[in-house]
Amino acid sequence: MDRLRLPPELTAKLKTDGRLPAKNRAWLDKREKQLVANWNQEVRDDKTRREREKWLKASVWSGQRPISFKFDRWNPDLQDNRKLASDVGNRAWTIAKRIIVGEEFNVCLTGEPGTGKTSLALAIADKVWAEADKPYLFISTMRLVGMFSERFDDPTVGDRLNQLQGLAKQAPVLIIDDFGTEAGMKEQGYYKPVRKDMQEWLYAVADARYDEWANAHRGSTIVTTNNTSGDLVQMYNPKLISRLITKRKDNVIDFDGLEDMRG
């Protein structure tokens, strides 16, 4: 806590008789309370910073470094279909506000690559964290499938997968990014199933985040995907898709009609 500093005239007064007039004592009490409040706020801010670092460090990013996005960076003017881009941003904002006030549900952002699905998923999570103090965990499925291959050569990767799964089960907000991309390209009109160990890992996460008895979600899970539900059931067990991919229209944001803004 900052050292308490008195005005020179009060310091001189204390040196003479060690007492303060009532009005100066009131000032001193007010000042002391303010310093304590400031110190408490610094402690809270430091705790928030360390908590944020923990979740971001634990996340699995496609480029192996954290990315972020806020709503004020969503610019509908960059799209030819400005109205659709504006509607998509407004729907994401509404979803964020619903989570902030305490709703827990799954969200699906679907559409062509490069249209802003990951950006708005992060914007939702950022706003929820800032206004409701609910942290998020980010998992890129393309990076995740790579970890399942790497764990046979590096035992520490297996340990990280176990730790990551534990956090994914309890994260207030979980982002599963590019879901379905890990299956690769279609062959003869069909997708190959995703590797069994990754399916089981994801199913354990999805199952932990759903209370079947109460028919309610534990936390909110935001999935971004370039694929349709029909594509995804070719890649994954339908039970997993049922737990992850919402069918409720209010919880789905469709980016079809927006242009690829990459490059």
What's domain 59-254's superfamily in CATH?
P-loop containing nucleotide triphosphate hydrolases (3.40.50.300)
CA distance 49 to 53: 6
pTM of the predicted structure, to 2 decimals: 0.82
Q: What residues have CB less than 8 Å from 2, skipping those under 6 apart?
A: 35, 38, 39
Place of tokens 């995907």: 225
Task: Per residue of the chain (263 residues), give pLDDT as tens.
Answer: 455 555 665 555 555 555 556 666 676 677 667 766 666 666 565 566 677 788 989 999 988 888 999 999 999 999 999 999 999 999 999 999 999 999 999 999 999 999 999 999 999 999 999 999 999 999 999 999 999 999 999 999 999 999 999 999 999 999 999 999 998 888 878 889 999 999 999 999 999 999 999 999 999 999 999 999 999 999 999 999 999 999 999 999 999 999 998 76
10 Å CB burial of residue 29 (0-12, 13-18, 19+) is: exposed
Tokens of 210: 């759903």
CA distance 236 to 180: 9
Among 138, 209, 117, residue whose Cα is nearest residue 170: 209
Domains of the chain by residue range: 8-47, 59-254
CA distance 117 to 127: 16
